[in-house]
């Protein structure tokens, strides 16, 4: 099984959005598998952190400013992150500029093969 979450949100100037996938159906992994993250921003100045099950996977990484929905593999940041059923996925985004910016992300959760 493969689940794709696409998010586009505005992040206000000099703020951090606590979790851009909060209230998404699959914020909590429904099965064990692997996570892929691709993202872009509308301009320079966004930073993103990825936490899975309370463990930091990416810490304040710079988001590219391609100003489009992320393309695979061009905008893929990380792939193959192990996620277990029931773990929470957190993706806070920080805007370090003096104006609002748009953050776009595509997260793909692919179920691990069961043998």
How would you write 23-34 as a 3-class SS string? Answer: CCCCCECCCCEE
Q: For residue range 19-31, what is the model confidence (pLDDT) as tens digits?
A: 999 888 899 999 9
Q: Give the number of other CB atoms < 10 A from CB of residue 68.
A: 10
> Mean per-residue pLDDT for 55-62?
94
- What's the pTM value of the predicted model, to 2 decimals? 0.92
> Mean per-residue pLDDT for 7-33?
93
Distance CA 14, CA 30 (A): 33
Q: Which residue segment(s) compose the domain that 80 sits in? A: 2-111
Residue 106: which of 83, 58, 62, 73 has the closest Cα? 73
pLDDT for res 54: 93
Distance CA 92, CA 49 (A): 6
Distance CA 109, CA 65 (A): 24
pLDDT at 115 over 80: no
In 3-state terms, what secondary structure has residue 52? strand
- The CATH number of whichever domain residue 8 belongs to comes to 2.60.120.380
> Mean per-residue pLDDT for 42-60?
96
Q: How many distinct structural domains can be found in the chain?
A: 1
Distance CA 12, CA 86 (A): 31
> Mean per-residue pLDDT for 1-16?
95
pLDDT for res 114: 64
Distance CA 52, CA 82 (A): 8
pLDDT for res 25: 86
């Amino acid at each position: 099984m493969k689940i794709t979450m696409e998010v586009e949100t505005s992040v206000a100037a000099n703020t951090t959005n606590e979790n851009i996938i909060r209230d998404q159906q699959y914020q909590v992994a429904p099965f064990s598998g692997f996570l892929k993250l691709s993202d872009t921003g509308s301009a320079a100045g966004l930073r993103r952190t990825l936490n899975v099950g309370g463990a930091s996977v990416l810490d304040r990484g710079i988001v590219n400013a391609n100003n489009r929905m992320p393309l695979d593999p061009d905008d893929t940041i990380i792939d193959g992150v192990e996620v277990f059923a029931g773990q929470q996925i957190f993706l806070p985004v920080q805007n370090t500029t003096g104006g609002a910016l748009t953050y776009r992300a595509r997260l793909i959760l692919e179920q691990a093969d069961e043998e």
